[in-house]
Structure formats: structure tokens, C-alpha cells
């Protein structure tokens, strides 16, 4: 039924779509940072003042947030505006009195602001565009709002305009709707125990039964778009049946939605759900050991690198913005302090013992820690400062190794 979708995308560790032109972002990043910080400060003030001033503070926070949101819309980076839109909705409800804005809610919003700033800093530093890394913060915002759907795939943006090409079907006559009725019944018989059982063996057995049904449905499609949709559903069901995707809440919900799609077929409707397609692709994109089918799907839709395995881990907010700002100030002070000075060999030796070696060990340890925690994931603005400091240190260290005095004006200060 399917064909070979081998391509260079299947061989690459990361999709080219994870790398962006960050030029436009660099032009407005300072404005975004300032607006979000001002919004956060206004929210902090809202929790400290009386009711009349509370509304004013919330309104100010919303105004600053709207400025950041507008700048993000201009740079058009998938995923990031969803965060600001969600916070805007929360603040609008709070301002109108429809919802409470507690101190805990303010902290969650400020956590989201900081995560967004750090994520954008990572993009500017050359990091991969994987907005699903923001999911833990987005999830907390949705919980404040009481959202019915909280799903990481909402921060996942595959190219759904792609149309995989399949060989022409041997039979071109459309399949009658009633043919799908017994297939749906078989699917439902496996779905119910799959949803309720906590026994792993029972789950896999029923997932395998549902995969068989989905495979048959895929083979019955005559339309290229429908074929692609059920091909992806086949890949998802296979991954669950082979224990490549764990049976979590989102997975159970997705199988229930596949059942609804089968009901549409049995009622004569050929419409397909784009959101269901995207959600299934999300799970396929996150598989670590892919089957041949999953590899083909990932290559066709260019999914490699879009979903990191640790997307549910909080990566941001581990370094306070105050400490980050202080580090930048200290680096600038050090640059000014050493500018125009001469260093003799004894001074360089003390500098190496007291500053260079400890900072090197710290930087190496930090890099090792983040490498273990995030698979080499960048640490954003703080990492940039460390790299700048390392450049300065390397200049001094190289001169010490060569011997002689060093004039600080010759250092290529960052």
C-alpha cells in the first residue's frame, strides 16, 4: 500500500526546520525582554495593593504584555505567541473580575515570562527551534485557565501542507460506508479494555488489535489525502503496540478520537481531523527507536528534531534573571577595570590560580551537568556570558603561556 519515503531528512539528526533566521528576532529582543519584565513587575505590584489599584496594576501588566506579543507576532516564530496569548486571556479575565489572580498565579505567569525570554535567548545563540520545550510552563498557564485540552502537540508545528505520494490503488471504486461498520466494532472491542486496564500485557494486546483495524482501513483508502491520514494513524498505532510510545493519557485520548474518525467513515463522511493528524505526528516525532514505517513517516513530514525526548522537563528558570543581570554587570566592570593596564608574570600567575582555574572548573562542571540533564541543550544567556568570560580568560592564559607582559587593551574583549 505504501511506498518508500527514504530521503536525506531521514538520515539527519535534526530537521532543517528547527533552525531559524533569527535576524528579525535580534532586532526586537530587547523590546520583548523589557516589556515582559515590566509586565511581571506590574503583576508583582498587583498582589501588594488594594482592590482599586489591583485592577490598575493588572491593566498595566496587560499593556506591557501586549507590546511583547505584538513584537513576537512580527517575528513570526511558531509557538511563542501561544504563551503570550494564553497569559493575555488570563489577565483579561482577572481584570474583568471573571477569575481570581492569586500570588501563585502571578508566580506561574512570571515563570512563563522567564522561560520565554530564555528560550528566545537560546534561539539567538543558535539553539534549535523546539517550542514544545515550553510545554511545562504552557501547561501551568492552561491549568490556571481551566482549559479542557492540555496537550504538548499544541506547541508542535509540522508542515501539514506536505502530501506524501502513494502508488495508485488497484481498485479505484470508493468503499461503501457500511463496510466500515464491522471494522469500527472490532476497534471498539479493543478500545474499551485498552482505556481501562492497568495491565501492560493487556494494553499491548489491545493496541495490537486496534493497529490491525487501522491497517485495514488504511488499505481501503482511495484518496491520497485520506491514505496519508490513515498511514500516519497506522504508524502511531504500531508505535503504541510495539511499546515505543507509552500508554499515557494523551495516547488513550488519541485512540478514542481515532474511533470517532472511524464512526465518520461508517456514516459516509470522508472528512479528516487535522488536529488528530498533528497529534499523531507528535508522538511519532518523539519515538527514539523507530520502525521502518515510523522512519518513513518522519522523513515524509520532516519530523526529525522537532520533539525532544525531555520536553516535559522544566529547563528554564533555573538561573535567576537577577543573577544573570549581575553577571553581565560584573563582566562589564571587569572589562573596564583591566582596560589600559599591564600585567607582569606574577600578577598573571595569581590571576590564573585565583580566577582562571576555578572559573574553568566551574564552566566545565556546568557544561557537563547540562549535558547530562538536557543532552547538550544550550543554557541560553548564561551560557553566552560564560563563553564571553572564557574568551577573556583564554587571552590572558595564552599570553601567560607565551611569557612576557600583557597590555589589557590588546585583549579582544567581548
Of the candidate ranges 80-89, 93-102, 140-149, 162-171, the one whose mean pLDDT is the lowest: 162-171
Question: In 3D, which of 127, 154, 117 has the Cα closest to residue 138?
Answer: 154
Q: Look at residues 312, 167, 172, 186 and name the one whose alpha carbon lies nearest to residue 237.
A: 186
Q: Which of 37-46, 131-140, 284-293, 399-408 has the lowest mean pLDDT?
A: 399-408
* Residue 129: pLDDT over 60: yes
pLDDT for position 251: 93
Q: Is the pLDDT of residue 108 over 70?
A: yes
pLDDT tier for residue 118 given thresholds of 50, 70 and 90: very high
| pLDDT exceeds cutoff 50 at 8 | no
Determine how many CB atoms are found less than 10 A away from the CB of residue 326.
11
Query: Given this model, what pLDDT does residue 286 score?
Result: 92
Mean pLDDT of the chain: 81
Q: Which of 321, 313, 329, 319 is nearest to 40 (CA)?
A: 321
Q: What is the pLDDT of residue 247?
A: 72
For residue 328, the model assigns a pLDDT of 62
| CA pair distance 228, 249, nearest whole angstrom | 25
The string over 375-394, giving b where at least 16 C-beta atoms fall within 10 Å of a residue's C-beta and e elsewhere, is eebbbbbbbbbbebbbebbe
> Does the pLDDT of residue 336 top 70, yes or no?
no
Task: Write b or e for each residue in 160-192: b if 16 or more Cβ atoms lie within 10 A of its Cβ, otherwise e.
Answer: eeeebebeeeeeeeeeeeeebeebbebbeebbe
Query: From start to end of 242-347, where are the E strands?
Result: 342-343
Q: Identify the CA nearest to 127 among candidates 301, 316, 282, 283.
A: 316
Torsion sign across C-alpha atoms 292, 298, 300, 304: negative
Alpha carbon of 293 to those of 76, 111, 153, 236: distances in Å?
Answer: 33, 39, 21, 10
Q: How far is it, in rounded angstroms, from Cα 31 to Cα 81?
A: 15
State the pLDDT at residue 316: 87
**Is the model's pLDDT at 11 over the cut of 70?**
no
Average pLDDT over residues 362-384: 51
pLDDT, average across residues 108-118: 95
> Given this model, what pLDDT does residue 126 score?
86
- Return the pLDDT at 377: 46
397 pLDDT more than 60: no
Instruction: For 274-290, write each residue's pLDDT tens digit.
Output: 999 999 999 999 998 88
| CATH entry 3.40.50.720 includes domain 161-301 | no
Contact 307, 130 (CB under 8 A): yes
82 contacts 115 by C-beta, under 8 angstroms: no
Instruction: Please determine, for residue 70, whether its predicted confidence score (pLDDT) is greater than 70.
Output: yes
Q: For the ranges 3-12, 70-79, 169-178, 185-194, which has the lowest average pLDDT?
A: 3-12
Q: What is the DSSP string of 165-195?
A: --PPPS--SPPPGGGHHHHHHHHHHHHHHHH
Task: State how far the alpha carbon of 316 is from the alpha carbons of 21, 42, 111, 405, in Å.
Answer: 22, 22, 8, 42
Q: What percent of the chain has pLDDT over 90?
A: 49
In this structure, CATH architecture of domain 16-151: Up-down Bundle (1.20)
User: In whole angstroms, how far apart are CA 157 and each of 17, 79, 278, 302?
Assistant: 10, 8, 8, 11
Q: Do domains 16-151 and 161-301 have the same CATH topology?
A: yes
**The pLDDT value given to residue 374:** 43
pTM here? 0.76
Domain spans, the chain: 16-151, 161-301, 321-410
Closest to 175 in 3D by CA, of 120, 137, 222: 222
Amino acid at each position: 500500500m505504501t511506498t518508500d519515503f527514504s530521503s536525506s531528512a531521514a538520515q539527519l539528526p535534526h530537521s532543517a526546520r528547527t533552525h531559524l533566521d533569527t535576524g528579525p528576532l535580534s532586532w526586537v529582543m530587547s523590546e520583548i525582554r523589557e516589556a515582559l519584565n515590566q509586565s511581571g513587575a506590574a503583576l508583582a505590584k498587583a498582589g501588594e495593593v488594594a482592590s482599586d489599584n489591583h485592577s490598575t496594576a493588572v491593566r498595566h501588566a496587560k499593556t506591557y504584555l501586549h507590546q511583547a506579543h505584538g513584537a513576537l507576532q512580527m517575528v513570526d516564530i511558531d509557538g511563542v505567541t501561544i504563551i503570550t496569548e494564553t497569559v493575555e486571556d488570563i489577565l483579561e479575565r482577572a481584570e474583568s473580575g471573571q477569575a481570581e489572580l492569586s500570588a501563585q498565579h502571578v508566580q506561574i505567569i512570571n515563570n512563563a515570562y522567564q522561560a520565554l525570554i530564555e528560550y528566545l535567548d537560546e534561539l539567538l545563540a543558535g539553539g534549535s527551534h523546539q517550542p514544545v520545550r515550553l510545554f511545562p510552563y504552557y501547561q501551568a498557564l492552561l491549568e490556571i485557565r481551566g482549559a479542557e485540552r492540555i496537550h504538548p502537540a499544541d506547541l508542535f508545528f509540522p508542515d501539514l501542507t506536505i502530501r506524501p505520494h502513494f502508488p495508485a490503488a488497484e481498485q479505484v471504486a470508493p468503499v461503501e460506508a457500511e463496510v466500515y461498520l464491522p471494522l469500527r466494532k472490532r476497534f471498539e472491542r479493543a478500545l474499551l479494555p485498552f482505556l481501562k486496564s492497568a495491565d501492560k500485557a493487556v494494553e499491548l494486546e489491545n493496541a495490537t488489535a486496534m493497529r490491525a483495524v487501522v491497517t485495514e482501513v488504511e488499505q481501503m483508502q482511495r484518496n491520497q489525502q485520506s491514505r496519508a491520514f490513515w498511514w500516519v494513524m497506522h504508524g502511531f498505532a504500531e508505535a503504541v503496540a510495539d511499546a515505543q510510545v507509552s500508554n499515557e493519557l494523551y495516547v488513550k485520548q488519541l485512540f478514542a478520537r481515532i474511533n470517532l474518525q472511524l464512526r465518520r467513515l461508517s456514516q459516509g463522511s470522508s472528512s479528516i481531523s487535522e488536529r488528530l493528524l498533528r497529534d499523531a505526528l507528535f508522538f511519532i516525532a518523539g519515538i527514539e527507536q523507530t520502525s521502518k514505517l515510523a522512519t518513513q513517516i518522519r522523513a515524509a513530514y520532516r519530523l526529525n528534531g522537532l520533539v525532544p525526548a525531555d520536553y516535559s522537563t522544566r529547563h528554564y528558570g533555573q538561573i535567576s534573571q537577577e543573577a544573570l543581570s549581575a553577571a553581565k554587570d560584573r563582566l562589564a566592570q571587569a572589562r573596564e577595570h583591566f582596560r589600559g593596564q599591564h600585567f607582569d608574570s606574577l600578577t598573571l600567575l595569581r590571576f590564573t590560580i585565583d580566577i582562571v582555574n576555578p572559573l574553568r572548573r566551574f564552566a566545565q562542571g556546568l557544561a557537563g551537568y547540562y549535558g547530562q540533564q538536557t543532552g547538550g541543550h544550550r543554557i541560553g544567556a548564561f551560557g553566552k556570558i560564560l563563553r564571553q568570560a572564557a574568551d577573556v580568560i583564554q587571552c590572558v592564559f595564552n599570553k601567560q603561556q607565551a611569557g612576557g607582559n600583557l597590555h589589557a587593551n590588546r585583549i579582544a574583549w567581548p
